Amino acid sequence: MFRATPRHNVNLTGDELRLAVLAAAGRTEHIDGRAHFEAAACRYFGVQHAVAIESGRTALYLALLGLGLPKNATVVLPRYCFFSLVKVVEGMGYTPRFAPVHPDTFALDPARLAPHLDGADAVVLIHPFGQLADMAGLQAVCSTLGVPLVEDASQATGARWGRHRAGAIADVGVFSLVSGKNLQTFGGGLLLTHRDDVMARINERLRDASEVDNATVSRLFRSGLQRWFLTTPVGFRGFMHPATLTLQTVAPSKLDAMFYEARATFDPQRAIRRLSNTQGALGCMEIEQLDARNATRRSNALRIIEGLKGVHGIELPIFDSTAENSFNAVAIRTNDATLLARRLRRSGYDTRSDYMEWFGPTQDFSEEVLYLPNHPAMTQQDVDGLVRAVRDALR
């Protein structure tokens, strides 16, 4: 039987699925779910403080606020990043400054970072696609110049550098918990820090914060269940994959629009909401599954990368093999990502061009980025079939 493979899947155990169904139906009472999740995050990541909040954007805002940056601060970002980082920095009245990334890792390049730190007040890094950035190099540069470092570890939840977890290495770490992430609460964000002074400033801002309301929770879980179904074998093969194939042929602009997210401004003055107790309960369950799911991602990714070595027409990612990378996707560089994606979809493997983009006048590589599917629901047969499909598409 033809087995179509989605680019990501929404992992849910039986207990998680039952919780999601109840929440979608409006049964959202889970006493102290958020508090339990925050405590579980502190234990898992090995930090003193954790805050579960409404979104990853809000988590980044609180991280920068907690650092006590001066008015009109300058915040250094990777010039290849997700637009929401830029919107949060700009929304706070800060000036973003864009620094080079390494073409092989997609992450901030510590060897070229120092000149961009003159007068800077903070640096925000990401771990692209679950491959850890050069933390030793970045910490050395930033600590020498006295610039605090923020990790956006949304793509690398559960990855490990030595004994340290991604997101718990820098001064502050932030995560998005939307569907499809390694750790998901159907919307939400997480902030981690060791620093008491950072946490004190954040607590002051959250003094009057309310919890995400029940109606919103139900809506988030209904949407999450829909995404879950469309990434199951039945939902993807029967509905999502045929629709994608049709759209890429007759209405490619509509296919692109499915993945487009409006570049909304960030308002730092608006009311902030903490994660709901129901979402927190789901987060506790997800943390218990995180290491096992990441182990499968890691095994799949290494098999994909090994199988694609030497293939003409693509550049494979370079990563620290001593780290436990989480490989949220396997990102490759190619000169025609659109054509390769179309061919892979026809072979049953969904993929898409990267959602990150360039900021500033300079780019560090010219190829397009395409990320190949890699998730815990993929079997070894799926992985080997993907390798063959890429090889065939590039002949």
Per cent of the chain over pLDDT 90 is 85
Is 233 or 75 the better-scoring residue by pLDDT? Answer: 75
Arithmetic mean of pLDDT, 169-182: 94
Arithmetic mean of pLDDT, 99-113: 96
What SS3 state is found at 321? coil
Q: Is the pLDDT of residue 257 over 80?
A: no
Q: Is the pLDDT of residue 256 over 60?
A: yes
Check if the beta carbon of residue 59 is closer than 8 Å to that of residue 191: yes
Q: Say how far residue 65 (Cα) sits from the centre of its chain.
A: 21
E strand or H helix that includes residue 299: helix 277-308
Per cent of the chain over pLDDT 70 is 99
Q: Parallel, antiparallel, or unpaired: how do β-strands 330-334 and 314-315 relate?
A: antiparallel
Q: Is the pLDDT of residue 151 over 80?
A: yes
Arithmetic mean of pLDDT, 169-184: 94
Q: How confident is the model at residue 375 (pLDDT cuts 50, 70, 90)?
A: very high
Q: Is the pLDDT of residue 393 over 70?
A: yes
Residues of the chain with CATH 3.40.640.10: 25-211
In single-letter form, the type of residue at position 334 comes to T
DSSP single-letter state for residue 75: E
Q: Is the pLDDT of residue 59 over 80?
A: yes
pLDDT at 2: 56
What is the CATH topology of the domain spanning 25-211?
Aspartate Aminotransferase; domain 2 (3.40.640)
pLDDT at 340: 95
Q: How confident is the model at residue 1 (pLDDT cuts 50, 70, 90)?
A: very low
pTM of the predicted structure, to 2 decimals: 0.95
What SS3 state is found at 239? helix
pLDDT in tens, 11-42: 899 999 999 999 999 987 778 899 999 999 99
Arithmetic mean of pLDDT, 371-386: 94
Q: CA-to-CA distance for 310 and 55, rounded, in angstroms?
A: 40
Q: Is the pLDDT of residue 341 over 50?
A: yes
Arithmetic mean of pLDDT, 57-66: 98
Q: Alpha carbon of 291 to those of 47, 178, 182, 282, 374: distances in Å?
A: 18, 18, 9, 16, 15
For the domain made up of 234-261+289-393, the CATH class stated in words is: alpha beta
Strand (E) positions, the chain? Answer: 49-53, 74-78, 80-81, 95-99, 122-126, 149-152, 160-161, 164-165, 172-176, 189-193, 210-211, 273-274, 314-315, 330-334, 352-353, 357-358, 368-372
Residues of the chain with CATH 3.90.1150.10: 234-261+289-393
Find the range with the poorest average confidence among 117-126, 243-252, 273-282, 340-349: 243-252
